[in-house]
Amino acid sequence: MVEVVVFAIAALVVLGGAAGVILQRNPVHAALSLVATLFGIAVLFVAQEANFLAAVQVIVYAGAIVVLFLFVIMLLGVDQADDLDAEPLVGQRPVAIALGVLIGAGMVLVVATSTVTGVPAASERWVRNGEDVAQIGRLLFTDHLFAFEITSLLLVIAVVGAVLLARTRPGPQVDAEEDVPVLPGEVVYEEEE
């Protein structure tokens, strides 16, 4: 009974937040709706006994990624409302909504009509005694060690890429009116309007 109530409330928060991300005109409001969705997902993780992942979800997603989004929105000053009515590509919106409904309905149908098969690997058996951190860590540093090391490489590449992308040219400070180069050694092309 408890889980039914928790699931219902969390599902409402998740879907409401997702609807907010899609429908809010202001990117700041969309980011805050995203926080609601991420929190709901974290609650659903707890409901499924994935406590460590719920904590990581809140810290990494709500704490880091959304803050990064908000920083970008605020620093660039792009927090004015979008014009949701403009539709440059004729028929894009109805087709997109139809495709979305089709994807959702199709996947729900698959879930509703199929049975889950498969046997868990013996080494990855989940022993539910509350020590999910120890179990995830053990698996991470044995079976998935190579992927874990590749992950560190990925993070280094991401940091280097971000620094390279955010770098401005040495020389006089650019002002707001001046065109800022996008990449070092960039190709300048005429804006066609």
Note whether 90 binds other proteins by CB under 8 A. no
Binding mask 38-77 for other proteins (x = CB under 8 A): x--x--xx-xxxx-xx--xx--xx--xx--xx--xx-xxx
Using CB under 8 A, which of 55, 58, 63, 135 touches other proteins?
A: 135
Q: How far is the CB of 22 from other proteins (least distance, A)?
A: 4
Shortest distance (Å) from residue 173 CB to other proteins: 14
Distance in Å, CB of 21 to other proteins, minimum = 5
Least distance from C-beta 30 to other proteins, angstroms?
A: 5
Binding residue for other proteins, selected from 9, 140, 149, 169, defined by CB under 8 A: 140
Rounded to whole angstroms, how far apart are CA atoms 52 and 59? 11
In the shown chain, the binding pattern of residues 142 to 171 toward other proteins, with x for contact by CB under 8 A and - for none, equals -xx--x---x--xx-xxx-xx--xx-----
Nearest-approach distance from CB 72 to other proteins, in angstroms: 5
Task: Report which of 70, 60, 23 is spatially closest to residue 39, judged by C-alpha positions.
Answer: 60
Kindly give, in sequence order, each residue whose CB lies less than 8 Å from that of residue 137, ignoring residues fewer than 6 positions away.
Answer: none
Q: Give least dist CB 172 to other proteins, A.
A: 16
At 172, which amino acid appears?
A: P
Residues in CB range of 54: below 8 A, 6 or more apart: 42, 43, 45, 46
Complex with other proteins: residue 118 or 170, whichever CB lies closer: 118
CA distances from 82 to 20, 30, 66, 91, 161 (A): 14, 11, 19, 19, 29
**Residue 73, CB half-sphere, CA atoms under 13 Å: how many?**
17
Q: How many amino acids of this chain bind other proteins (CB under 8 A)?
A: 98
- Residue 159 or 170 with smaller CB distance to other proteins: 159
Query: Distance between CA atoms of 53 and 140, rounded to whole angstroms?
Result: 14
- The Cα–Cα gap between 12 and 19 comes to 10
Considering only residues 106-125, where is the footprint of other proteins by CB under 8 A? 107-108, 110-112, 116, 118-121, 124-125
Q: Which amino acid is at 60?
A: V
